[in-house]
Protein backbone atom coordinates (compact mmCIF):
# COMPACT_ATOMS: atom_id res chain seq x y z
CA UNK A 1 0.00 0.00 0.00
CA UNK A 2 1.33 3.46 -0.92
CA UNK A 3 2.53 5.59 1.99
CA UNK A 4 0.23 8.39 0.87
CA UNK A 5 -2.84 6.22 0.43
CA UNK A 6 -5.24 6.05 3.34
CA UNK A 7 -6.35 2.54 4.35
CA UNK A 8 -9.99 1.61 3.71
CA UNK A 9 -12.60 -0.70 5.18
CA UNK A 10 -12.25 -2.93 2.11
CA UNK A 11 -8.54 -3.45 2.83
CA UNK A 12 -9.27 -4.42 6.43
CA UNK A 13 -11.98 -6.81 5.21
CA UNK A 14 -9.57 -8.38 2.70
CA UNK A 15 -6.92 -8.92 5.39
CA UNK A 16 -9.45 -10.69 7.61
CA UNK A 17 -11.42 -12.41 4.86
CA UNK A 18 -14.72 -10.90 6.01
CA UNK A 19 -17.21 -8.56 4.37
CA UNK A 20 -16.78 -4.75 4.47
CA UNK A 21 -20.14 -4.50 6.26
CA UNK A 22 -18.81 -6.77 9.02
CA UNK A 23 -15.76 -4.53 9.39
CA UNK A 24 -17.94 -1.41 9.51
CA UNK A 25 -20.14 -2.84 12.26
CA UNK A 26 -17.13 -4.13 14.20
CA UNK A 27 -15.49 -0.70 14.13
CA UNK A 28 -18.59 0.62 15.90
CA UNK A 29 -18.67 -2.32 18.33
CA UNK A 30 -22.06 -3.41 17.02
CA UNK A 31 -23.54 -6.19 19.23
CA UNK A 32 -24.25 -8.37 16.19
CA UNK A 33 -20.50 -8.90 15.70
CA UNK A 34 -18.69 -11.35 17.95
CA UNK A 35 -16.07 -10.14 20.42
CA UNK A 36 -13.17 -11.99 18.75
CA UNK A 37 -13.99 -10.56 15.31
CA UNK A 38 -14.41 -7.09 16.75
CA UNK A 39 -11.03 -7.27 18.47
CA UNK A 40 -9.33 -8.52 15.28
CA UNK A 41 -10.89 -5.72 13.22
CA UNK A 42 -9.71 -3.07 15.69
CA UNK A 43 -6.24 -4.61 15.77
CA UNK A 44 -5.84 -4.58 11.97
CA UNK A 45 -7.35 -1.09 11.75
CA UNK A 46 -4.73 0.15 14.22
CA UNK A 47 -1.91 -1.59 12.36
CA UNK A 48 -2.98 -0.03 9.07
CA UNK A 49 -3.54 3.39 10.63
CA UNK A 50 -7.21 3.42 9.66
CA UNK A 51 -9.24 6.43 10.80
CA UNK A 52 -13.02 6.49 10.78
CA UNK A 53 -14.41 8.94 8.21
CA UNK A 54 -16.97 10.69 10.40
CA UNK A 55 -18.33 12.77 7.53
CA UNK A 56 -19.05 9.63 5.53
CA UNK A 57 -20.71 8.04 8.56
CA UNK A 58 -22.95 11.06 8.97
CA UNK A 59 -24.14 10.97 5.36
CA UNK A 60 -24.73 7.23 5.56
CA UNK A 61 -26.21 6.89 9.05
CA UNK A 62 -27.29 10.50 9.72
CA UNK A 63 -25.34 10.27 12.98
CA UNK A 64 -22.15 11.97 14.15
CA UNK A 65 -21.72 9.91 17.32
CA UNK A 66 -21.27 13.19 19.16
CA UNK A 67 -23.13 14.55 22.18
CA UNK A 68 -23.19 18.23 23.04
CA UNK A 69 -23.15 19.48 26.63
CA UNK A 70 -23.93 23.06 27.67
CA UNK A 71 -23.08 24.06 31.24
CA UNK A 72 -22.94 27.41 33.03
CA UNK A 73 -19.42 27.16 34.44
CA UNK A 74 -16.88 24.34 34.34
CA UNK A 75 -15.13 25.71 37.43
CA UNK A 76 -18.13 24.77 39.58
CA UNK A 77 -17.50 21.31 41.08
CA UNK A 78 -20.99 20.07 40.30
CA UNK A 79 -20.73 20.85 36.59
CA UNK A 80 -17.18 19.53 36.22
CA UNK A 81 -18.28 16.28 37.88
CA UNK A 82 -21.36 16.11 35.64
CA UNK A 83 -19.25 16.61 32.52
CA UNK A 84 -16.86 13.88 33.62
CA UNK A 85 -19.79 11.52 34.08
CA UNK A 86 -21.15 12.34 30.63
CA UNK A 87 -17.75 11.81 29.01
CA UNK A 88 -17.30 8.45 30.76
CA UNK A 89 -20.72 7.23 29.61
CA UNK A 90 -20.16 8.56 26.09
CA UNK A 91 -16.77 6.88 25.76
CA UNK A 92 -18.23 3.57 26.92
CA UNK A 93 -20.74 3.83 24.06
CA UNK A 94 -18.26 5.06 21.41
CA UNK A 95 -19.54 8.64 21.41
CA UNK A 96 -17.57 11.86 21.51
CA UNK A 97 -18.47 14.88 23.61
CA UNK A 98 -18.22 18.56 22.76
CA UNK A 99 -19.17 21.12 25.38
CA UNK A 100 -19.61 24.82 25.79
CA UNK A 101 -19.72 27.11 28.83
CA UNK A 102 -22.50 29.67 28.81
CA UNK A 103 -20.92 31.50 31.77
CA UNK A 104 -24.51 32.31 32.70
CA UNK A 105 -24.95 34.44 29.58
CA UNK A 106 -28.20 33.91 27.67
CA UNK A 107 -26.67 35.25 24.43
CA UNK A 108 -23.69 32.94 24.78
CA UNK A 109 -26.00 30.00 25.43
CA UNK A 110 -27.87 30.73 22.18
CA UNK A 111 -24.61 30.85 20.20
CA UNK A 112 -23.50 27.51 21.63
CA UNK A 113 -26.84 25.97 20.63
CA UNK A 114 -26.38 27.29 17.09
CA UNK A 115 -22.84 25.91 16.98
CA UNK A 116 -23.98 22.47 18.10
CA UNK A 117 -26.75 22.53 15.53
CA UNK A 118 -24.16 23.29 12.84
CA UNK A 119 -22.11 20.32 14.05
CA UNK A 120 -25.21 18.11 13.84
CA UNK A 121 -24.66 16.57 17.27
CA UNK A 122 -26.85 13.56 18.01
CA UNK A 123 -28.22 15.07 21.20
CA UNK A 124 -27.67 17.89 23.70
CA UNK A 125 -27.55 17.99 27.51
CA UNK A 126 -28.21 21.45 28.95
CA UNK A 127 -28.11 23.21 32.29
CA UNK A 128 -29.63 26.66 31.81
CA UNK A 129 -28.10 30.05 32.51
CA UNK A 130 -29.46 32.27 35.26
CA UNK A 131 -30.67 34.64 32.53
CA UNK A 132 -32.59 32.14 30.39
CA UNK A 133 -36.32 32.82 30.37
CA UNK A 134 -37.22 32.01 26.75
CA UNK A 135 -36.45 28.77 24.98
CA UNK A 136 -36.86 29.31 21.23
CA UNK A 137 -33.19 28.50 20.63
CA UNK A 138 -33.81 24.97 21.89
CA UNK A 139 -36.70 24.66 19.46
CA UNK A 140 -34.05 25.07 16.76
CA UNK A 141 -32.50 21.79 17.90
CA UNK A 142 -35.87 20.09 17.80
CA UNK A 143 -36.41 21.30 14.23
CA UNK A 144 -33.31 19.32 13.27
CA UNK A 145 -34.55 16.29 15.24
CA UNK A 146 -31.78 16.75 17.79
CA UNK A 147 -33.10 15.64 21.19
CA UNK A 148 -32.53 17.88 24.22
CA UNK A 149 -32.33 16.77 27.85
CA UNK A 150 -32.09 19.38 30.62
CA UNK A 151 -30.38 18.76 33.95
CA UNK A 152 -29.97 20.61 37.26
CA UNK A 153 -31.27 23.99 36.03
CA UNK A 154 -34.42 22.89 34.27
CA UNK A 155 -37.00 25.16 32.58
CA UNK A 156 -40.43 25.33 34.16
CA UNK A 157 -42.16 23.65 31.19
CA UNK A 158 -44.09 20.43 30.73
CA UNK A 159 -42.96 19.55 27.19
CA UNK A 160 -39.34 18.69 28.05
CA UNK A 161 -37.10 15.81 29.06
CA UNK A 162 -34.97 16.38 32.14
CA UNK A 163 -32.87 14.81 34.88
CA UNK A 164 -33.19 16.17 38.42
CA UNK A 165 -32.59 15.13 42.01
CA UNK A 166 -35.27 13.64 44.24
CA UNK A 167 -36.61 16.87 45.72
CA UNK A 168 -39.30 15.16 47.79
CA UNK A 169 -36.83 12.96 49.64
CA UNK A 170 -34.30 15.77 50.08
CA UNK A 171 -36.80 18.31 51.40
CA UNK A 172 -38.42 15.78 53.73
CA UNK A 173 -35.03 14.84 55.18
CA UNK A 174 -34.12 18.50 55.64
CA UNK A 175 -37.29 19.51 57.45
CA UNK A 176 -37.38 16.33 59.55
CA UNK A 177 -33.80 16.96 60.69
CA UNK A 178 -34.59 20.56 61.63
CA UNK A 179 -37.74 19.55 63.50
CA UNK A 180 -35.84 16.86 65.41
CA UNK A 181 -33.36 19.41 66.77
CA UNK A 182 -36.11 21.76 67.88
CA UNK A 183 -36.85 24.12 64.98
CA UNK A 184 -40.44 25.02 64.18
CA UNK A 185 -40.09 28.31 62.26
CA UNK A 186 -38.30 27.14 59.13
CA UNK A 187 -37.79 29.59 56.28
CA UNK A 188 -37.05 28.96 52.60
CA UNK A 189 -34.75 30.81 50.19
CA UNK A 190 -35.98 29.61 46.83
CA UNK A 191 -34.66 30.09 43.29
CA UNK A 192 -35.93 31.97 40.21
CA UNK A 193 -39.52 31.30 39.13
CA UNK A 194 -38.38 30.31 35.62
CA UNK A 195 -36.70 27.15 36.97
CA UNK A 196 -38.81 24.04 37.48
CA UNK A 197 -36.96 23.24 40.71
CA UNK A 198 -38.26 26.47 42.26
CA UNK A 199 -41.97 25.66 42.02
CA UNK A 200 -41.34 22.00 42.85
CA UNK A 201 -39.39 22.86 46.01
CA UNK A 202 -42.03 25.30 47.17
CA UNK A 203 -44.79 22.70 46.74
CA UNK A 204 -42.76 20.03 48.54
CA UNK A 205 -41.74 22.50 51.27
CA UNK A 206 -45.40 23.18 52.10
CA UNK A 207 -46.23 19.48 51.98
CA UNK A 208 -43.37 18.56 54.33
CA UNK A 209 -44.33 21.30 56.78
CA UNK A 210 -47.88 19.97 56.90
CA UNK A 211 -46.65 16.40 57.39
CA UNK A 212 -44.68 17.63 60.41
CA UNK A 213 -47.67 19.62 61.74
CA UNK A 214 -45.89 22.94 61.25
CA UNK A 215 -47.59 26.18 60.16
CA UNK A 216 -47.03 27.50 56.63
CA UNK A 217 -46.04 31.15 56.59
CA UNK A 218 -45.52 32.96 53.27
CA UNK A 219 -43.62 35.69 55.11
CA UNK A 220 -40.56 33.49 55.67
CA UNK A 221 -40.32 32.43 52.01
CA UNK A 222 -38.09 34.57 49.78
CA UNK A 223 -36.63 34.08 46.32
CA UNK A 224 -33.30 34.92 44.73
CA UNK A 225 -32.10 35.33 41.17
CA UNK A 226 -28.99 33.35 42.29
CA UNK A 227 -26.83 36.45 41.90
CA UNK A 228 -24.56 37.24 44.87
CA UNK A 229 -26.21 40.58 45.67
CA UNK A 230 -29.67 39.02 45.56
CA UNK A 231 -28.62 36.09 47.74
CA UNK A 232 -27.45 38.60 50.34
CA UNK A 233 -30.72 40.55 50.05
CA UNK A 234 -32.76 37.36 50.55
CA UNK A 235 -31.15 36.35 53.85
CA UNK A 236 -31.09 39.95 55.12
CA UNK A 237 -34.85 40.22 54.53
CA UNK A 238 -35.38 37.12 56.67
CA UNK A 239 -33.03 38.30 59.43
CA UNK A 240 -34.74 41.71 59.63
CA UNK A 241 -38.20 40.27 60.31
CA UNK A 242 -39.79 40.91 63.68
CA UNK A 243 -39.82 37.15 64.23
CA UNK A 244 -37.14 35.72 61.94
CA UNK A 245 -36.91 32.01 61.18
CA UNK A 246 -34.57 29.98 63.37
CA UNK A 247 -33.59 27.79 60.43
CA UNK A 248 -33.57 28.26 56.66
CA UNK A 249 -33.58 25.78 53.78
CA UNK A 250 -31.50 27.28 50.95
CA UNK A 251 -31.80 26.70 47.19
CA UNK A 252 -28.20 25.57 46.72
CA UNK A 253 -24.75 25.74 48.29
CA UNK A 254 -23.63 28.78 46.31
CA UNK A 255 -26.57 30.77 47.67
CA UNK A 256 -25.76 29.41 51.13
CA UNK A 257 -22.16 30.64 50.99
CA UNK A 258 -23.45 34.19 50.46
CA UNK A 259 -26.00 33.71 53.25
CA UNK A 260 -23.32 32.64 55.71
CA UNK A 261 -21.21 35.69 54.81
CA UNK A 262 -24.20 37.97 55.44
CA UNK A 263 -25.03 36.28 58.74
CA UNK A 264 -21.46 36.68 59.99
CA UNK A 265 -21.43 40.33 58.85
CA UNK A 266 -24.54 40.86 60.99
CA UNK A 267 -22.67 39.54 64.03
CA UNK A 268 -24.66 36.30 64.23
CA UNK A 269 -23.34 32.77 64.66
CA UNK A 270 -24.26 29.97 62.29
CA UNK A 271 -25.96 27.01 64.01
CA UNK A 272 -26.45 29.10 67.16
CA UNK A 273 -28.48 32.12 66.07
CA UNK A 274 -29.67 30.55 62.82
CA UNK A 275 -29.24 27.16 61.13
CA UNK A 276 -29.06 26.27 57.44
CA UNK A 277 -29.62 23.27 55.23
CA UNK A 278 -28.89 23.35 51.52
CA UNK A 279 -28.89 21.18 48.40
CA UNK A 280 -25.59 20.12 46.72
CA UNK A 281 -22.97 19.27 49.38
CA UNK A 282 -20.00 21.03 47.78
CA UNK A 283 -16.50 19.73 48.60
CA UNK A 284 -15.61 23.16 50.02
CA UNK A 285 -17.54 22.40 53.21
CA UNK A 286 -14.73 20.08 54.30
CA UNK A 287 -12.52 23.13 54.82
CA UNK A 288 -15.00 25.44 56.55
CA UNK A 289 -15.89 25.89 60.21
CA UNK A 290 -19.43 27.23 59.62
CA UNK A 291 -20.86 23.96 58.34
CA UNK A 292 -24.55 23.79 57.40
CA UNK A 293 -26.55 20.99 58.95
What confidence score (pLDDT) does residue 54 get? 60
Integer Cα distance of 25 and 215 in angstroms: 62
pLDDT confidence bin for 156, thresholds 50/70/90 = confident
Nearest residue to 204 (alpha-carbon basis) of 238, 246, 162, 173: 173
What confidence score (pLDDT) does residue 259 get? 95
Integer Cα distance of 142 and 256 in angstroms: 36
Whether the CB-CB separation of 273 and 258 falls below 8 Å is answered with no
Q: Measure CA 158 to chain center.
A: 18
Integer Cα distance of 11 and 7 in angstroms: 7
* Higher pLDDT among residues 22 and 7, named by residue: 22
Q: What residues pair up with 97 in beta bridges, in sequence order?
A: 67
Nearest residue to 82 (alpha-carbon basis) of 91, 93, 71, 98: 71
Angle, helices 106-118 vs 136-143, to 10°: value is: 10
The reply to whether the predicted model has a pTM over 0.85 is no
- Helices first, then strands: H and E counts in the chain: 11, 9
Whether the CB-CB separation of 255 and 233 falls below 8 Å is answered with no
Structure confidence by residue, pLDDT tens digits, 51-77: 766 655 555 567 788 999 999 999 888
Structure confidence by residue, pLDDT tens digits, 214-267: 988 999 999 999 999 999 999 999 999 999 999 999 998 889 999 999 999 999
pLDDT confidence bin for 277, thresholds 50/70/90 = very high
pLDDT confidence bin for 27, thresholds 50/70/90 = confident
Q: Where are the domains of the chain?
A: 9-51, 61-163, 167-287
- The superfamily CATH assigns to domain 61-163 is Response regulator (3.40.50.2300)
What confidence score (pLDDT) does residue 89 get? 94
Q: At residue 3, does pLDDT exceed 80?
A: no
pLDDT confidence bin for 193, thresholds 50/70/90 = confident
Nearest residue to 235 (alpha-carbon basis) of 199, 275, 208: 275
Same fold, 61-163 and 167-287: yes
* Higher pLDDT among residues 289 and 215, named by residue: 215
What confidence score (pLDDT) does residue 215 get? 87
Q: Which fold has domain 167-287?
A: Rossmann fold (3.40.50)
Integer Cα distance of 266 and 179 in angstroms: 25
Amino acid sequence: MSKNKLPTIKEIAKRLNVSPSTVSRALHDHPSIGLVTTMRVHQIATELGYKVNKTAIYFKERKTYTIGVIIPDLSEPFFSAALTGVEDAAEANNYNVIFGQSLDSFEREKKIVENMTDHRVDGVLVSLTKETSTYEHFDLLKSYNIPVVFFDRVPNRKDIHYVACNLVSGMLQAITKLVNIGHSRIGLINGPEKLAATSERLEIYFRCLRENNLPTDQEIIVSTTLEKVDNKRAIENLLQMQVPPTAVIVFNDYVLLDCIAAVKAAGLIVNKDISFISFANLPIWEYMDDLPL
